[in-house]
Amino acid sequence: MISSKDWKKSSNYKLLNGNWHFYYVDSVQGRPVDFYKEGFSLKG
């Protein structure tokens, strides 16, 4: 068990700081295709 002061050392800990990109759509059908693949263009 991890003590409360060592939670950042856990293998389950993931820092999510950084630049995020969002693409808002009205429905899931409007999402960009293959957005999760390497090389996907973020240009609008």
Q: Does residue 21 contact residue 42 with C-beta atoms inside 8 Å? A: yes
Q: Does residue 23 contact residue 33 with C-beta atoms inside 8 Å? A: no
pLDDT digit string (tens) for 1-44? 556 678 888 888 888 999 988 888 999 999 888 888 999 888 86
Report pLDDT for 27.
Answer: 95
Residue ranges per structural domain of the chain:
11-44
Q: Measure the CA–CA gap between 28 and 20, rounded to whole angstroms.
A: 19
Report pLDDT for 3.
Answer: 64
- What does the angle CA 15 – CA 21 – CA 22 come to, to the nearest 5 degrees? 115
